[in-house]
């Protein structure tokens, strides 16, 4: 990296040795596009250079600027690149879901989300793939030690961090960056979270998937990344996306609290039940029920993944504990 501020293509984190990650099985990087003609060739080239053994799926929403046609040219020249042409602009969440189904139907084992504009640095993709060896879902995190953001105004940082904090509180998640979109999923995780019922988009889509995975007890870890704001093209962020995230997360959080109250409120005594204050013949359990213990995430070094405190033991790709005890069961 030359002197001055980081630019796209500068890996501002510790370098990683190049590896094909063949032990993970088939890896697919899904890149949704809409009017990304200025960025698509560069981002595809960087992914191929950083992780030569992975495949790329460009999911284009019929971009009027010709992004889809450019992607077709890249695919014609490289068998590791494929293009999914969609009929129109249907949103980020819909594009990713289509990409997930496309990849799973073709036998991919690891599926990665990545932005087309270079904000997610392909040079940091190896650290997500390294972490997914021992996880069901890996989040590239801007808010753990070693992570960061470049070229964002203070207002945008406040919105992003505030959104993650609000979601953590409402949903009871021990995750620092729940709204980020640089992620690696195991196929089994996606199959286990009922993708077909997901209707959210944008920031909210990312919150939705992470929450579903946490509720079902999948092991989630966070690794530090450096997010660099796009230098070309227009941001897809809008007030509509922010508003959707706010009302959906609020509704999910309210539902979570209602569910907790239902499970902790004792039933009304019925005729013939043991009166209050009269000892019952059954002894109370002396130990807490399995899965009720809560915990806190440990602080890791800059290059150490953060693990959400769900049980690390797996059974068929799923952890045996249902999260930290703060999230409701599925």
Confidence of residue 20 (pLDDT cuts 50, 70, 90): confident
Establish if 232 belongs to a structural domain: yes
pLDDT computed for residue 233 by the predictor = 54
Establish if 179 belongs to a structural domain: yes
pLDDT computed for residue 269 by the predictor = 52
Q: How many structural domains are present in the chain?
A: 1
Q: What is the pLDDT of residues 156-199, one digit of tens each?
A: 777 767 777 887 888 888 898 998 999 999 999 999 999 999 98
Q: Which two tokens stand for residue 134?
A: 């021992």
The pTM (predicted TM-score) of the whole model is 0.71
CATH number at residue 50: 3.90.550.10
Give the single-character DSSP code of 134.
G
Establish if 325 belongs to a structural domain: no
Establish if 11 belongs to a structural domain: no
Q: Tell me the DSSP string of 44-112.
A: HHHHHHH-TT-EEEEEE---TTSHHHHHHHHHHH-TTEEEEE-SS---HHHHHHHHHHHHHHTT-SEEE
pLDDT computed for residue 170 by the predictor = 83
Report the C-alpha gap between 226 and 328 in whole angstroms.
Answer: 32
Q: What is the pLDDT of residues 146-168, one digit of tens each?
A: 999 997 778 777 776 777 788 78
- Residue 316 pLDDT > 80: no
CB atoms within 10 A of CB 266: 5
Domain containing 110 equals 22-248+299-307
């Amino acid at each position: 990296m030359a002197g001055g501020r980081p630019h796209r293509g500068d890996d501002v984190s510790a370098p990683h040795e190049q590896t094909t990650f063949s032990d993970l099985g088939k890896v697919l990087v899904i890149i949704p596009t809409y009017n990304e003609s200025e960025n698509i060739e560069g981002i595809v080239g960087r992914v191929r250079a950083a992780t030569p053994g992975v495949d790329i799926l460009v999911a284009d929403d019929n971009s009027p600027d010709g992004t889809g046609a450019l992607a077709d040219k890249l695919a014609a020249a490289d068998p590791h690149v494929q293009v999914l042409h969609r009929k129109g602009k249907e949103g980020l969440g819909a594009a990713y879901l289509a990409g997930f189904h496309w990849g799973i139907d073709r036998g991919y084992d690891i599926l990665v989300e990545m932005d087309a504009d270079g904000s997610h640095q392909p040079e940091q993709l190896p650290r997500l793939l390294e972490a997914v060896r021992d996880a069901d879902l890996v989040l590239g995190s801007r808010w753990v030690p070693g992570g960061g953001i470049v070229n964002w105004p203070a207002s945008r940082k406040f919105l992003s961090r505030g959104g993650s904090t609000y979601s953590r509180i409402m949903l009871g998640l021990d995750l620092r960056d729940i709204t980020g979109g640089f992620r690696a999923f195991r196929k089994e995780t996606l199959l286990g979270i009922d993708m077909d019922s997901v209707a959210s988009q944008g920031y909210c889509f990312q919150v939705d998937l992470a929450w579903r995975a946490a509720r079902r007890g999948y092991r989630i870890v966070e690794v530090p990344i450096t997010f660099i704001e796009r230098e070309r093209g227009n941001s897809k962020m809008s007030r509509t996306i922010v508003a959707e995230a706010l009302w959906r997360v609020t509704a999910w959080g309210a539902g979570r609290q209602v569910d907790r109250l239902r499970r902790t409120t004792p039933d009304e005594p019925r005729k013939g039940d043991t009166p209050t204050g009269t000892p019952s013949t059954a002894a109370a359990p002396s130990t807490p029920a399995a899965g009720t213990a809560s915990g806190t995430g440990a602080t890791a070094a800059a290059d150490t993944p953060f693990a959400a405190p769900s049980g690390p033991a797996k059974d068929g790709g799923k952890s045996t504990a249902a999260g930290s005890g703060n999230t409701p069961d599925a």
